[in-house]
Chain A
Amino acid sequence: MNVTGRASYSESQLYVDGVTVSFDGFKALNNLSFVVEPGEMRAIIGPNGAGKTTMMDVITGKTKPDEGRVIFKGDIDLGKRDEAAVVALGIGRKFQRPSVFENHSVFDNLELAIKSDRSTFACLFDRLDADRKSKIESTLERIGLAGERDQMAGKLSHGQKQWLEIGMLLVQDPELLFLDEPVAGMTDAETEATVELLRDLRGERSIVVVEHDMAFVHALGVKVTVLHEGSVLAEGSMDQVQNDPHVIEVYLGR
């Protein structure tokens, strides 16, 4: 393993430390460890079943790790928190399948997502204030959906739904963002626009992109972590990992 051995993780954005998760004896994650720095954009790739989704489930509080821990911002243990608590800490997650609220307008989707009091009664009596409204409008511009403001989200194209979901994460103001296959099913033009959008976000917050599309990962030009059978196989720049004999074996050997 060429990734362990860092002296201090207190300044890291996210530190995944020896996490193991098994389902009926099958180890979906096997002693997985990696670090994401503040402001870093990271791409995570790996074949099907490498444990990418399970990794995100663990970090975002959906699945509890059998072993190991997940530390956010150096001292917050995510292992015991549920999804809502993890989101409240500033971690956002976009799903592989675009999931937006199809029976709500684009604007409403963003309104439901925007950072605000999440308690039940606060929602009952909530009125949208000017600050939040202008933030939604500016996000609409940023994700290129200003023209579809009052459109039902269900009527958007596949790519537009992906952008809307990214927009829904952005209005939450997360410090760390997980994007699961953000360009799956997109046309080339849409993919390009998405690359632009993500490059634009770089530095603003830490972003972890999980992708299959090698061209897209290449275009992002960021550090890449390769997962295989629940642990890290290789880590480095795209060129480095592409020449790694282990990676070649895993991707081409079967």
Chain B
Amino acid sequence: MSLRQWMRGGALRFLMVFWALAVLVPHSGASAAEDLGTLVTELGAASLSKKQAVVDRMVATGAPEVVPILEALVGRDLYTRKSDGVVVIGQKTSGGKLLLTDPLTGSEVGTVGSREVKRIKTNNRLRSSVKAVMGTLTLMSPDPQRRLEAADGLLKSSDQAMLPLIETALAKEADAAVKNALQLAKASIKLQSDSAEERLAAVQSLADRTDPESRVMLSRLLLKDGDVWREPDEMVRATAGKTLASMESRLEMWRTVEHLYQGISLGSVLLLAAMGLAITFGVMGVINMAHGEMVMLGAYTTFVVQEVFRSVAPGLFDWSLAVALPAAFLMSALVGIAMERGCIRFLYGRPLETLLATWGISLVLQQTVRSIFGPTNREVGAPEWMQGAMESVAGITLTYNRLWIILFSFCVLGAVLLVLKKTAFGLQMRAVTQNREMARAMGIPTGRVDAMTFGLGSGIAGIAGVALSQIDNVSPNLGQAYIVDSFMVVVFGGVGNLWGAFAGAMSLGVVNKLLEPWAGAVLGKILVLVAIILFIQKRPRGLFALRGRAVES
């Protein structure tokens, strides 16, 4: 189709491209640009047959103002004012009048009735050639967005005459996205070529891509019109088929990578929420149903800290999270210690009662927060460095906030492991986990260790709340949304084992996200829950269960 156009366009096209090239190549020796103002006036006066030449000269000036003028010409909005013969751009107002603007400066020069101006005449042929010329003009725009639009336009028109222009532009282009679009346009144009070799080269040039446009382009080659292949050459077809298949498989891989990323991201959130639970459950055998509320308290602490920053030191807002982290840890840890000392310690050895009492505490905490902050979501801001996203080749976006949370959760895991393995408190804690009676006999203050352990577990939950405030709504129900999942992580991974919690969180997160594309989010989640319920039947003590007599008693 574009070939026919090309034939019709004839020599005029050549000229156009020539001019365009002249513009594209700086310091090409062209004489000093003519005055645009004079040219515009000339355009108004020139006869239809001469107008093309004037347009070409305007283009040759390389001035950015040319584009709106030509747009107006094509859109039949370019007029000469009858009173003084000045060329103006006219836009219809609601009152049926015309709002006139100066074509060079864009400033308004009055409103007139439609009789007072005369439209500058154009015909189809002129308009289409001007349109094409405009494409080349915008390709040179300093604004990458404009260049991208132009390149996309070239892809759509796929005009063979543009090929040299595209080549030159490609050589100059620095912006990856524009370059990408230009390459696509080039391949698309080359696929129209009469030479099978050219077409084959075009197909091969697409080999590294995975974008939908190139996939459509290739799959078109494999279509038949009735009994006739659209692509006559068998070699080209075979290559296209192969290229397409490899594209699909690469795309599939990238999609998997994206799901893995999302899975790991979800997993790290679960890990943050479940880590504290693994500690309290593991060391004390306490099911803390208010654990989710510790997370919520952390999130609200973040909110409060940010409010303080906003009102006191707005300039330091990016540092608010650095303050929120210890604040949230302290807040949740203190509430946790109060809970342990005030309630849970009276219920040791009665896990089911503990479960009920902590549920009661969770209700009280929720309602307290609801009374203070209201039932609606509170907005927690993100510092600059957590905003935005990383875009990769195959249209996969990796948001920075999730990336940070993944890193953060690993850091917290590392820190907690260090505390458990390297500090005296950690040693005491592990001693109490393994044999409470013996630890007490050795002079370890088990009561204090319990309180501190509970504080540590709750504090980690508070930290998790800071992270969650960056990706989720901060509302009094925040904790409830994560509690079932956190329990599943702990139960799945095996109680009292941080690596178990890690493995549990990551596998749940990843499996959830891998299931999502074909099962949907909700069904995927249901499947995971059912799988865990079934899994617990097989391994009642979780993935990394301790085995032996001590555990069973």
Contact = CB atoms under 8 A, between A and B. Distances in A.
B546 interface: yes
A26 B549 CA distance: 12
Nearest to B548: A23
A54 B547 contact: no
A53 B548 contact: no
A28 B552 CA distance: 15
B548 A24 contact: yes
**Number of chain B interface residues as a range:** under 10
A28 B549 CA distance: 10
A23 B549 CA distance: 9
Q: Is the interface of B mostly helix, strand, loop or mixed?
A: loop
Interface string B524-553: 000000000000000000000011110000
Contacts of B548: 23-24, 26, 28
A54 B549 contact: yes
Contacts of B546: 24
Interface in A1-47: 23-24, 26, 28
A16 to B, nearest CB: 19
Contacts of B549: 23, 28, 53-54
A23 B548 CA distance: 6
Interface string B103-125: 00000000000000000000000
A183 B549 CA distance: 22
B458 to A, nearest CB: 31
A238 to B, nearest CB: 28
A235 to B, nearest CB: 25
Nearest to B547: A23
Contacts of A28: 548-549
Nearest to A53: B549
Contacts of A23: 547-549
Contacts of A54: 549
Contacts of B547: 23-24
A206 B549 CA distance: 27
Nearest to B551: A23
A62 to B, nearest CB: 9
Nearest to A24: B547
Interface string A105-142: 00000000000000000000000000000000000000
A23 B550 CA distance: 11
Contacts of A26: 548
A28 B548 CA distance: 9
Interface string A46-63: 000000011000000000
A53 B550 CA distance: 12
A168 B352 CA distance: 30
B500 to A, nearest CB: 14
A77 B546 CA distance: 29
Contacts of A53: 549
A53 B547 CA distance: 15
A28 B547 CA distance: 12
B494 to A, nearest CB: 13
A65 to B, nearest CB: 15
A53 B548 CA distance: 12
A186 to B, nearest CB: 22
Contacts of A24: 546-548
Interface string B121-132: 000000000000
Interface string A199-232: 0000000000000000000000000000000000
Nearest to A49: B549
B547 to A, nearest CB: 5
A54 B547 CA distance: 13
B350 to A, nearest CB: 15
B186 to A, nearest CB: 64
A187 to B, nearest CB: 24
B550 to A, nearest CB: 9
A203 B548 CA distance: 36
A98 to B, nearest CB: 15
A99 to B, nearest CB: 12
4 closest Cβ contacts across the A-B interface? A23-B548, A23-B547, A24-B547, A24-B548
11 contacts: A23-B547, A23-B548, A23-B549, A24-B546, A24-B547, A24-B548, A26-B548, A28-B548, A28-B549, A53-B549, A54-B549
Interface of B: 546-549
Given A24-B546, A53-B549, 5 more contacts: A23-B549, A24-B547, A28-B548, A28-B549, A54-B549
